[in-house]
Structure 1
Amino acid sequence: MRYLKKRRFFRDAGEDDDPMSGVANLFDVGLVFIVGLFLALMTVYRIMDFFSETSEITIMKKNKDGRMEIISKKGRAISVERVTDKKIGGEEGVRLGTAYQLKDGRMVYVPDE
């Protein structure tokens, strides 16, 4: 009888009764899940092009206010333009000259006399 009691004592002494021992593992699992979800969303919506320096992307989106925005990315430069329904100028105008684009991409303006 004494032999059985001693054995039970040693078996209980080796067990860890800390309730917080499993929390670290849950945190690691949660972190891996979040990173996996983030990568899956980036793959589904093809957002990886945003991080490429050679890509050119144009996105048109509507704000919560109902205003339209055009987001353009060319290389490393990102620009945001807001679209309005207001007219900037009148319907009338005067011809001032002619603009030419050269083969190297430069533009030349020649005024009318």
Structure 2
Amino acid sequence: MRSRRHSLLRRSEDNDPMSVVSNLFDVAMVFAVALMVALVSRYNMTEMFSQEDFTMVKNPRKENMEIITKEGEKINRYTPSEDTDPSSSKGRRVGVAYELDNGDIIYVPE
């Protein structure tokens, strides 16, 4: 009877040092996923995971402004400060945009 009780208390799993490592890995993975979900919801980046196309302006009217567009699976990033040389223009003027007092922007094609 004593040897049976003694064998029930000592299992082979209790002496396995790798079981601690696997438990730590599971905890780290749960933490990493929770951190990614928190960051995506904090910075309102849920549009990146949707199927819809969108355009986002980051830091508007500042030196480090960026325009980020998503078209299908492709995400493009454009920084206007990269094109400061007028001789290397990549486009042509197609219209004029006016900003009203209430913040609306009206585009007038030429």
Q: TM-score, normalised by structure 1?
A: 0.53
2-structure distance, mates of 1:70, 1:100: 21
Q: Hey, what does 1:68 align to over in structure 2?
A: 63
Q: Hey, what does 2:79 align to over in structure 1?
A: 81
2-structure distance, mates of 1:71, 1:100: 21
CA spacing shift, 1:19–1:80, aligned 2, 3 Å: same
Q: TM-score, normalised by structure 2?
A: 0.54
> In percent, how many aligned pairs have the same letter?
26
CA deviation vs aligned residue, 1:51-107 (integer Å, no higher than 9, x gap): 44332211138xxxxx933321334252322428x7859xxxxxxxxx779xxxxx6
Q: Hey, what does 1:34 align to over in structure 2?
A: 32
Unaligned runs of 5+ in 1: 62-66, 90-98, 102-106, 109-113
Rg comparison, structure with higher value: 1
* Equivalent residue for 1:23, pick from 18, 21, 24: 21
Q: Secondary structure at the match of 1:56?
A: strand
CA spacing shift, 1:68–1:51, aligned 2, 3 Å: farther
Q: Secondary structure at the match of 1:21?
A: helix
Q: Which runs of 4+ in 1 moved over 4 A?
A: 86-89
Q: How many residues align?
A: 86
Shift of 1:48: 1.4
Shift of 1:15: 3.9
Q: Greater CA deviation, 44-53 or 22-31?
A: 44-53
Return the letter of the residue paired with 1:45: Y
Q: Hey, what does 1:7 align to over in structure 2?
A: 4
CA spacing shift, 1:100–1:69, aligned 2, 3 Å: closer
Q: Hey, what does 1:54 align to over in structure 2?
A: 53
